[in-house]
Structure formats: structure tokens, C-alpha cells
Structure 1
Amino acid sequence: MRKAILCLLLMVCSAAHADSFQYPLEPQAVAPDTYVLEGKTEDFSRTNGGFIVNTGYIVTDNGVVVIDSGPSKRFGEQQRALIEETTGKKVIRLYLTHHHPDHFLGNQAYENVPRYALPASKQGMQAEGENFTSNLYRMTGDWMRGTSVVLPDKEAKAGTETIGGHELETIALSGHTPGDLALFDHTTGVLFSGDLVFNNRAATTPHADIDAWLKSLEKLQSLPFKVIVPGHGKVAQDKVPIEQTRDYLQWLMTTLKEGAANGLDMNEVMQTPMPERFKSVALAHSELQRSVSHLFPTLETDSLKPAKQAE
């Protein structure tokens, strides 16, 4: 009898433990047939399970097109289950906007679905995916249990294709990473920008080329979109998130270059006061500190070169 009670208690505890790893996925309709699962504007933690990213999906006549699979196997499985249960249609394609872990580590849930990414993104996933997985396990714990790297199996190419009544344009860019894919649905006017655009959340820069990033923002701003889904932050119906991202990146590079030119060290630059317009932007100070570590050493080295060598 005692053994039976113990087994029952273990079963109840196991079920409760499993329930505690449910992501709060609430589809947000942003246009006809188009939905976003909006993540928190936070750092990775054991509380949010890595759900700090916006993923989306488009319900076409032929099936569902998904944009980014999220940060873990659990997330991808729950995302796909929700999509197929609520739409009554199968997922027919997955687009991966770039190689950062919160955007592609849910790929295990889509192993039987064509997974599209730019070549540079696939290379990044292959080179860094295992380290990403280990780091996220350290930061988010058992939310990551069972997660392993599944690479894209299709090359995303720039161009327009009609899928189930939706005219989808794949746009190949770079700057946030060496390969940044944006997806523009001409049928609904929705632009999925990936992490080229942040909205009221400071941009991350571990693989950034700021000059290329600013050029990519010019391209996105020229598009006739009606709705923009940033990689992080609220969905918007205007170009303000693009303008804010550009403003932040320009301020960041000016700050770092001036710091290097004035002989400041990294710790001094990290203490730069945040301009008033960025004080309400989530994680602005902590991302400044990270960006100093990512970008400042190169700028510092360049500032110390003799004039002829610097040219």
C-alpha cells in the first residue's frame, strides 16, 4: 500500500513538473491569416524559459508558414501543436531569420518540414549551435531539456513566391548577423524583420556589422509595409521601430568611437549615461555593456594605429 501511494505521489509530481514547462503562447492576430507569438523583452532566465523572441505564422490556403521556431525543443513542439490545433492546417514551411539561438533551437519540432535559411545563417548554426544550446541550458535550466541542433535543409533565396494565396518576398540582408532574412507578405502588408529591428528593446550586437545593419534598415524602411513584426518588442503599424533601432545604433557607434578616440577604457565607456530617449528602452544599459565588449576592442585598436596605417 505504501509503495502504491509513493508511486502515485511520484506520478503527480512528474505531471506538475511537466506542466511547469508550458510556455504562455497566446496568438496575436496582426493581419488577415497572420499571427504573432510575442515574447518578453527580457534577458534569458529560468522564469521565461528563453521566450524573449517574437515568432509568427501565416495561414495560407496550402498550409501554414512559420517564421522562427523559438528557443528550445519544448517551445517548438508547443508552438507547432498550437498552430495546427487552432488553424486545422499543417505546417508546410519554416523560415529562420538568422542564427541566434532564440530563433532556431525549436527546429526539432519541424524535422519533417522544409526549413529555409540563408547560407550564412546555416553556417552560424552549424558552427555555434552546440555552444548556444549549452549556454541556454545554463541560463534557463530544464526548459532546454532534450534540445539539440537541427539545421535548415533548404536555402532561402531572395525573391518572391506565391504560397497558398500569399505573395511572400524573401529579402536577404545582413548587419545584425552575417545573414539576416526578412519576410514581406505583399498580400497582407506584414513585414517580419527578424532582429534587424527591435521595438523598445535595446539591440543586441554579438555578431553585428553596424554599417551593414544601417543599410539593411534603409532597405526595410523603403518597403510599403502596413505592419512590422520586430524580432523583439511590440508589433507596430508604422516605421517608428526602424527609426528607433537606427537611432540607437548610430548613438552606440558614436559613443564607442568617441570613447576610443579619447583613450577611455572599456569600463569607462560602459558607464556612459543613457540618453533620455533610450531610458525607457528595455535592457538599454545592460546591452550597452555587452556591446562595449563586442565592438569596442576593434575600435580601440583602430584608434591606436598610425594615421597612414589606419587608412
Structure 2
Amino acid sequence: MNRRRFLQSTTAFTLLSAAEFAPWQTISAFAKEMDEFVRGPAVKDHPLRQVSKHVWMIFSPDGFPTPENQGMMCNITFVNTAKGLIVVDSGASVQIGEMAIRQIKKAFKKPVIAIINTHYHGDHWLGNHAYVDAYGKDLPIYSHPGTIKAIEGIQGNMWRTLMEQWTNQATLGTRVVPPRLPLEDGAELKFGDVTLRIHQYGTVHTPFDLCVEVVEDGVTLLGDVAMDRRIANMDDGSYLGTLKAYAALEKTGSTLWLPGHGEPGPNVLSWNRELFEGIYRPCEQAIRDGLGLEEAKALVLKDSRVASRARDTKGFETNIGKYVSLAYLEAEAAGF
């Protein structure tokens, strides 16, 4: 018996036992509390705001999941087309997805007709559950073939469990709903008056990141390829791959970049490029000079591109050591 069924069975038994001793109103209130425990409570509303002619977003102020934010750590983006709404990255739980659906129903008299998940980290796709509940199990959900395979495999349940742990069970009740439809680099999806062009550059933040260019608006939705005042998790990524991707993205002609974490703006790529250069290039030099990891870290922290961003980069102090280690290992491997 899994945990959810165990909790449901326990709830039913408790209610039956309570029926002999408490009025129905008390039992009903207790049942609601138990249901919230089994499923996780609703997420408070976060406002919807317009970014460009066709692009809207629900901004997430936090960069990391906590019990307090209930996993609300990733921007949720909507592309408003003549055919309907396209969701790019659905959030970290069914509760977050339901909150987003409440918001779009206030603003638009049209349905969600497709979802694009940019990569397999759970804060970007676990909200799929809410959308298939609201718009049907046949709702098209797109992603890179590698992301589809990863979520269908170990990444799906792993991320569902991690989000529950990080939020003290606030996301409980979320079901793994993987994307089904593959998208490759250069693919175009046309929805009436809007064209979405897909960009994929190999290993960047993960091996399978998608960026979604809203052609008519000159806006590109970056997923976690770049972030605003937060270092992208590089455990599955590549610094050199990221720098290569930035050079290619700048050739798209987009003038506004919308990251998965942080504020959209015209300078998101340049901010990230300098930070990543400041982390990777000193490690590269340390390898050439035969210096160890700690010496490389000291060089990174002295680099002006890193030092100037340390104060306003979320999670800098707790994560910079790991990011230097990853850069050092990548530079070491590249040197052979």
C-alpha cells in the first residue's frame, strides 16, 4: 500500500470512529483538514501580468522551494494566441497549476490548448496534472524526446518526491503527468497569429533544454538556460554548452528574455554570461597552471564578474562552492 492510500484509509477509519462521538459539522471540518493533509493545501493566488503583446506570466518571487512558498519557485508563462492559451512550464505541483488556472480564467475567455515543458526538473512540469484535470487527458503536452524519456523514467517520481520533502508535503497529491509529444531544435508550432520556434543546443542546464521563441513578439522563453540573479543548477549541465547556447540565442533577434526564475529583461543573457565566464575561466586557468580546487575557488571569488554579482545572487553563499567544483571538473575534462 502506498503512502497516499494509507493516509486515505487512515482518514476513513478515523472518520468512522469519530461518527459516534461528534456532530456532523465537526466531522465535516475534520474531513476537510485530513483531505488537505492527504492532498496538500491550496496555493495562494499570484497575479498574472503581461510581458509583451502575446506573452503573460505568473512571476515567482522565490528561487528555491520551501514549506512557506509551497514550491512556488518557477515562473509560469502563457502565450495568448487566437486559438487558445499555450502554457510554457506549468509549475511544481497540482496546487500551483490550479492556482494558475484560476488566474487565467479571470483574464481570458479561452482554454489552454497545449503545454510545453522546457526540461525535466520538476518545478517546470509537475503542474501538468492540474491542466489535464481541467482541460482533458488528451491535452497536447510537448517537450524534448530526452525530457519525455527522463520524466517517464527515474526523474518523474524522483522530482515528485523531492518537492514533497522540500515543501513539508505541501505538494502532496500531485500526479506525474509526463509530456507526450516530441519537439526538436528548429521545430515551429503555429497557433493562428502566433508562431513558436523551438531552440535546443545540446547540454546547457540539462542535456535536453528547450527555449521557446515567440517570433512575433521578439521574446524568448528560456526555461533554466539562464536565470535572473540566481545561478542555474549545473549538476546536469555544462558551462561551455551554456556559453555556446547564449551566443546562438543572441542570433535569434529576440530583444526580451524571460527566464524560468527571476524577472524578464533585455540583459538576462549578458548578466548570466559574465557570471558563468567568471566562474569557468578561472577554473580553466587553474587547470592550465596546475592549481588545485581550493586555489581555483579563490580565483573565482576574486574575479570581478563574480564578486560584483555575489550580493544579489540568490543562494550564492550556499552554492558557489559546488558550482566552482563542477566548473573545475568540466575544465579538467576539457583539458584532456
- Output the TM-score relative to the length of structure 1: 0.85
Q: Give 1:278 shift.
A: 3.3
| Equivalent runs, 1:73-152 vs 2, <5 Å | 73-111=94-132, 112=137, 113-125=139-151, 126-152=153-179
The equivalent position to 1:3 in structure 2, one of 14, 19, 22, is: 22
SS at match of 1:144: coil
SS at match of 1:51: coil
Q: 1:282 is matched with which residue?
A: 314
Distance (whole Å) between structure 2 residues aligned to residue 30 and residue 93 of structure 1: 19
Letter in 2 for 1:117: S
Q: Give 1:270 shift.
A: 11
Q: Give 1:214 shift.
A: 0.9
The equivalent position to 1:160 in structure 2, one of 181, 185, 188, is: 188
Match status 1:243 vs 2:263: no
Q: 2:7 is matched with which residue?
A: none
How many residues are matched? 302
Is the strand fraction higher in 1 or 2?
Answer: 1
Stretch of structure 1 that moved more, 1-10 or 287-296: 1-10
Distance (whole Å) between structure 1 residues aligned to residue 126 and residue 172 of structure 2: 12
Q: 1:217 is matched with which residue?
A: 246
Check whether the contact 1:117–1:154 (CA below 8 A) recurs between aligned residues. Answer: yes
Q: Give 1:172 shift.
A: 1.9
Q: Give 1:166 shift.
A: 0.7
Q: Give 1:192 shift.
A: 0.6
**Deviation readout 1:110-169 (Å, 9 max, x if unpaired):** 332100001122233233221222122111122211123211110113233321211221
| Equivalent runs, 1:262-301 vs 2, <5 Å | 262-265=291-294, 272=301, 275-292=307-324, 294-297=326-329
Distance (whole Å) between structure 1 residues aligned to residue 219 and residue 312 of structure 2: 26
Match status 1:178 vs 2:207: yes
Distance (whole Å) between structure 1 residues aligned to residue 284 and residue 102 of structure 2: 47
Distance (whole Å) between structure 2 residues aligned to residue 213 and residue 268 of structure 1: 20
Distance (whole Å) between structure 2 residues aligned to residue 218 and residue 147 of structure 1: 37
Q: Give the 3 Å change call, closer, same or farther, for CA 266–171 of structure 1 in structure 2.
A: same
Distance (whole Å) between structure 1 residues aligned to residue 222 and residue 206 of structure 2: 13
Distance (whole Å) between structure 2 residues aligned to residue 100 and residue 225 of structure 1: 25
* Structure 2, unpaired ranges of 5+: 1-19
Check whether the contact 2:144–2:208 (CA below 8 A) recurs between aligned residues. Answer: yes
Distance (whole Å) between structure 2 residues aligned to residue 123 and residue 292 of structure 1: 30
Distance (whole Å) between structure 1 residues aligned to residue 285 and residue 163 of structure 2: 34
Q: Give 1:230 shift.
A: 1.0
Q: Give the 3 Å change call, closer, same or farther, for CA 12–172 of structure 1 in structure 2.
A: closer
Distance (whole Å) between structure 1 residues aligned to residue 88 and residue 107 of structure 2: 17
Stretch of structure 1 that moved more, 215-224 or 265-274: 265-274
**Deviation readout 1:81-112 (Å, 9 max, x if unpaired):** 43234311111110111111110111112332
Check whether the contact 1:93–1:115 (CA below 8 A) recurs between aligned residues. Answer: yes
SS at match of 1:192: strand
SS at match of 1:204: coil
